[in-house]
Structure formats: C-alpha cells, structure tokens
Structure 1
Amino acid sequence: MGLTDNLSMDIYQLFEEGGLLVKVEKGNHIFHEGESAGDLFLIKNGSVQISKETEHGKELTFRVCGKNSIIGESSLFGPTTFHSNTAKAIINSEIIILNKNTLEMILTEQPSLMIEYLKWIQNENLKNQSLIRDLVIHGKRGALFSTLIRLSNTYGEPINEDNNHIFINLHLTNSEVANLCSTSREMINRMLNELKKLNIITFEKGYITILDLNYLKEEIACENCPATICRID
C-alpha cells in the first residue's frame, strides 16, 4: 500500500532511512534557481511553492507541493545539474534531504526500488506535460478553470454527497492564484468575481470553495485524467 496514489511506502522509507530531516520556517528557501542540484527533497510535513522568476522580474508558480511530495531536479546516474526553479516553504515545514549519490547506491542495490522510482518519475512527467498543455491550449480563462480543478484534486475536501461542492484547504491570495495561471492579478480578480456572480465558487479570506465542479470541467472539455496526473503538487 502506498502513502498516496503516486508515492509508494517503499520510496518514502528510502528517504526516511537514508535522508536527513530538517525544519524549514515559513518564507525560507529550500533551494534557489541556479544552485547545484545534488540532493532530492521529500516534504514530510508542510507546504512548498515551486516557482521561477522571469527576465522581467515576474514570479511564476508551477507547483504548490504538500506532504509526501518529492521536489528537486537531481539527475541520477549522470553529471550533477542545476535547479531550474526555486523552492520556498509557505508554511513551517519538515523536509527530508537525500543526497544523489546515496539514492543512486540504494537504487543500484535494490532493483525493486528502482522500478518504484521510475514509476514515480513517469507520473511526474505526465503531470508536467498535462499542466503545460492546459496552460497553453485553453487560454487565460481555461488556465484558471484547469488550476481550480487541479487544486480540488490536490487539496480539495468534498462538502456534499455528490462531491460537486469542494472546499480547497489551501490559503491562496489572488496574486498566488494568478502566478499559478501565468497571468495578471487584475485578470484573475475579474475572472474570480465572474465565477462568484455565477455561483460557481466562493472566495473568502483566502480560501476557495468550488460550488459547481462540473461547470468548470465542461467549460474546458475536461478529459477526466486520473487524479494522480491532474494535480498542482
């Protein structure tokens, strides 16, 4: 049995047994874009934002990762690469750091773990491809709808029997939602207000509740990808 649908207990225990546990306070960075990527990081508890700064100084958020997510871009069995993104704790978090060389040694000695790790890598690639597709194909409005659906799959808590009303248990400002959609805060403000008027969502004190998930899916011709792929973490 796995901890989540995309992280097996074996991989989690690999980090627990071979890694170093550190505490990261809210607002502190775990790694910066351009730094050597010699380690991988498992979020034991907390929440971490993965972002990139454009040449014009705008911050784009790619992922908001929670408990049991693995972050970092260490290239196994090859030359050490560099982080292309920045990771920052958005609440107090606990992170397990596992060195690339240690991971390589363990995977070489345990082929079954190698298979589990390759499965995880494959799922991460599918998530990234799906996210890029939605942001490019559906335009700004579709990007928001797609992001809300992904948030519901990752942090959503159903509040009615048919699972169409979902509370997203993650505090987000309008600026943070805009960064996730690669657009401006002003445009996101306008689109969120339109959805509120249509009674599709509520947005109170930084928390979004989706009142009509089916509407969002129908508007972007949602393909109902597995929840392991249609995620924001």
Structure 2
Amino acid sequence: MIGSKSSAKLSISDELRELLDTNSTSKTITKDSFLFHEGLEANEIYIIKTGLVQVSKLTADGKELILRICNQDDIVGELSLFSDDPKYLLSGKVLSSGEVQVINKNELEKALVSHSKLTFEYMRWSSTQMRKFQSKIRDLLLNGKKGALYSTLIRLANSYGLEQDEGTLIDVALTNQELANFCAATRESVNRLLVKLRHLNVISIDKSGRISIKDINYLKSEIGCENCPLEICNIN
C-alpha cells in the first residue's frame, strides 16, 4: 500500500511537531506485531515514521472492523490523552515493518500543559480523529453493509485515488476479504456487492485487483453523502 494524498491529512504546526519529537523515543516495529490492544491500559502514543499500521475494533459478534490504515506522520493511540485511567478503544496492528516514535502519555500531557496554544492545536487534531471514527460508524449503522462498502470505496478514492479518463483509480490492490474487514462484513457479501456495482458500470476491477470508480456520484447518492472535507472522509 502506498502513501496517501497529503491533502487528506490534517497537518500540524512546526511547533507541535518539535514538541512531539522532543518527548519521544524511537522503536522498530515488525509486521504482524501489535502496537497496542483494545482494552489494555493506554500509556503511550505513537507517531509513524515508516511502515503501515492498521487500527481496528472488534464488533460484538467478533468481526474485525478496520477503521484506519495509518502511514508516515500519522498519530495513533491519540484519543487516550487527558483522561483518567485510559484504555485503548482500538487495536493497532503492524501491516508492514518500520519505525515509530513512542511518546509517554503522562510526559506529553505535562509538556502540553506548559504550552496552551499547542494544547488547543493537539485537541483540535484529536477531535478530527474522533469525527472520522464517528462518521465511519454512522455509515455502518445507517446504511448497513452496503453503505459501509460504498463509503469505504469513497474514502479509498480520497486517500489513494488517481484521476483517469474512465474515473478514479484506487491505486492500491485490496482483496475482497480486506475490503470486508473495513465493513465488518463477510467476504461473500462484499463480493456480491462488487459484482452488482460492476454490472451497473459503477466500478471496474483490473487484473491486479485495483478498483476504478467510474461513477462516484452513484456511491454518494446511495449513502446520502454529506460531502465531508478530505481530512474527515479518508481511510487514514
């Protein structure tokens, strides 16, 4: 999986970046390991320097719901800040090996308290992450598996899309099972939905598994898309 569009990320100031760098240590991460597990005590926050990290949650029926695919300069574990006895709400699994900056939660809180302007900026950034989470859960609850898949395709296009004559090519190959994990659905149900979209000429799929969206307005109309800004409507 390649890096996503920079326009789909909310940038942070040089001052906040310096504060985060000053209060961090480096750690090597290996494929298939976990940075953190849902339900465990949240003492650390991570900034990805290289590699990919999948952030997901287990549903009540035991299915995995992928919420983010994070890469360079993304922050994960960030929602635990300024809370008492915090627990990780999600799990972070390493998809490809790399390196992260590890920031102790308590040390970062102390540093932010001394810089009120940066505290406001950090909380604004964190609020954006929560809005992403809420919008993805909304798509799943209000529109079911179909809505979850359609919104996932839109988010992937916003993060990894290349504009071409026929439409938008999602420049990353995902299996039907991987798409299903974004929707908390089965591989079979996602396959049926993709076949239907192909018959409607809404999408096409090349030999490598990459999807081209020919009619993104169809997907948007089916889920009542609110045309959220890119920093909200993306897969990161």
TM-score, scaled to structure 2: 0.86
SS at match of 1:96: strand
1:187 aligns with 2:189: yes
> Would you say the 8 A contact 1:37–1:81 is kept in 2?
yes
Provide the rounded CA distance (Å) in 2 between the counterparts of 1:9 and 1:65. Answer: 19
Unaligned runs of 5+ in 1: none
Aligned amino acid, residue 9 of structure 1: S
1:8 aligns with 2:9: no
Which position in structure 1 is the counterpart of 2:213? 210
Aligned amino acid, residue 113 of structure 1: L
The structure, 1 or 2, with the larger RCO (C-alpha pairs under 8 Å, 6+ apart) is 2
SS at match of 2:212: strand
Aligned amino acid, residue 216 of structure 1: L
- Aligned match for 1:146, one of 151, 164, 181: 151
SS at match of 2:73: coil
TM-score, scaled to structure 1: 0.87
Provide the rounded CA distance (Å) in 2 between the counterparts of 1:26 and 1:75. Answer: 24
Which position in structure 2 is the counterpart of 1:52? 57
Closer/same/farther in 2, CA of residues 228 and 140 from structure 1, 3 Å limit: same
> Would you say the 8 A contact 2:32–2:93 is kept in 1?
yes
Closer/same/farther in 2, CA of residues 39 and 189 from structure 1, 3 Å limit: same
Could you tell me how far 1:23 is from its partner in structure 2?
Answer: 2.2
Show CA shifts across 1:121-179 (max 9, x none).
2211221221111111112212211111111122223234xxx7222233322111111
Show CA shifts across 1:101-122 (max 9, x none).
2211211111111111011022
Unaligned runs of 5+ in 2: 1-5
Aligned amino acid, residue 136 of structure 1: L
SS at match of 2:109: helix
Aligned amino acid, residue 200 of structure 1: V
- Tell me which moved more, 80-89 or 184-193: 80-89
SS at match of 1:202: strand
Show CA shifts across 1:3-62 (max 9, x none).
764231333333222211222122221112232210111122222111233465432222
RMSD: 2.1
Which position in structure 2 is the counterpart of 1:88? 93
Give identity over the alignment, percent: 42
SS at match of 2:20: helix
> Would you say the 8 A contact 1:20–1:98 is kept in 2?
yes
